[in-house]
């Protein structure tokens, strides 16, 4: 078998605190099953966000030292803008420090009373930013997606059964392909 190693050296490491399954269950219970009420120190693998949580390369750290911190007209911004324009082909680039800040700006512009914003499943901050503008955040996830605990072939059976039941309830004959 081919051995694949990471194509980089890890220069710094941060220790993490290991918890047991029982401790995690207890901590979750105490937090009212609200992950925002957990202390980060108690979280072994944090999947709440991926923004800014991974290791930075030596070039990124070095880039910080070369950054132009001017309050306005920073040359770092123009360099960033050029690169992002080249990659995306977009005309206007507005950098934000976080995903939730981008959403705040976006839904301030496209949200509002009487608007519906569809998604497969809204991320928590996305939903909050949409609802803050009085627009409605609509999740369009199908029934199968709501049951990740069921293995795929079982899910197909489960869903076809439920589709038949709900079709019968509606008094309609519908053919489904799952
Ligand atoms: C749609 C969406 N909004 C917000 C976030 C959160 O990003 P941030 O932690 O940078 O606010 C993420 C990713 O984690 C995301 O996918």
Q: Which pLDDT score is estimated for 1? A: 72
Residue nearest atom 16 of ligand 1, based on CA coordinates: 123
Q: What is the DSSP letter of 118?
A: E
For residue 51, the CA-to-ligand 1 centroid distance in Å is 7
Q: From the CB of 125, is ligand 1 less than 6 Å away?
A: yes
Q: From the CB of 49, is ligand 1 less than 6 Å away?
A: yes
pLDDT in tens, 113-157: 999 999 988 999 999 999 999 999 999 888 778 877 777 665 555
Q: From the CB of 6, is ligand 1 less than 6 Å away?
A: no
pLDDT in tens, 64-85: 999 999 999 999 999 999 999 9
Quick one: which atom of ligand 1 is closest to the CA of 126?
3
How many CA atoms lie less than 13 Å away from 154 in the CB half-sphere?
A: 5
Residue nearest atom 6 of ligand 1, based on CA coordinates: 99
3-state SS, residue 27:
helix
CB contact at 8 A, 96 and 90:
no
> What does the domain layout of the chain look like in residue ranges?
14-45, 99-143, 146-178
CB contact at 8 A, 124 and 144:
no
CB contact at 8 A, 143 and 159:
yes
Long-range contacts from 103-107, C-beta under 8 angstroms, 24+ separation: 103/129, 103/130, 104/129, 107/132, 107/133, 107/135
Q: Is it the case that residue 164 has pLDDT exceeding 70?
A: no
C-alpha–C-alpha distance, residues 48 and 151, integer Å: 24
């Amino acid at each position: 078998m081919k051995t694949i190693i990471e194509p980089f050296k890890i220069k710094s490491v941060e220790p993490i605190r290991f918890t047991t399954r029982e401790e995690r269950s207890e901590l979750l219970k105490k937090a009212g099953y609200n992950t925002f009420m957990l202390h980060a120190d108690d979280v072994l693998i944090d999947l709440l966000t991926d923004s800014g949580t991974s290791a930075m390369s030596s070039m990124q750290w070095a880039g910080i030292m070369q950054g132009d911190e001017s309050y306005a007209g920073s040359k770092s911004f123009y360099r960033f803008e050029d690169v992002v324009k080249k990659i995306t082909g977009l005309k206007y680039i507005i950098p934000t420090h976080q995903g939730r800040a981008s959403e705040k700006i976006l839904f301030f512009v496209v949200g509002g009373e009487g608007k519906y914003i569809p998604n497969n499943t809204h991320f928590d901050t996305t939903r909050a930013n949409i609802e803050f503008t009085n627009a409605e955040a609509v999740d369009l996830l199908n029934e199968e997606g709501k049951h990740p605990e069921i293995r795929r072939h079982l899910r197909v059976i489960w869903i076809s059964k439920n589709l038949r039941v709900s079709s019968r309830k509606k008094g309609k004959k519908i053919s489904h392909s799952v």
